[in-house]
Amino acid sequence: MPDQIHNQELGYGISCIDTQQRRPGLAACYLIEHEGMAGFIDTGTNNSLPILLEVLRRKGISPDAVAYVMPTHVHPGTLCLTPNAPKGAA
């Protein structure tokens, strides 16, 4: 995991997280929090998972609260896992 994790609170329960893909500041994903649930818009690559988990930990959000992952596009190696998605969610 990178030594420094950068995320910026944008308001309205939205956080911008630097996924540090290839280098810091190149790519980001977003965490949305609302009424005890959370979702990610984009996730970065599999290498981003420790960053995303650390941001959840720092914010006091259980990984079990992540109900949605909304990829805007997919590349090989994109992290697209959401074990707690509602039944029938794609």
Report the mean per-residue pLDDT for the chain. 82
- Name the residue among 89, 16, 75, 84 with its Cα closest to residue 47: 75
Domain ranges of the chain: 7-70
50-76 pLDDT tens trace: 999 999 999 999 999 999 999 887 766
Alpha carbon distance 62, 24 (integer Å): 25
Whether 15 has a pLDDT exceeding 90, the answer reads yes
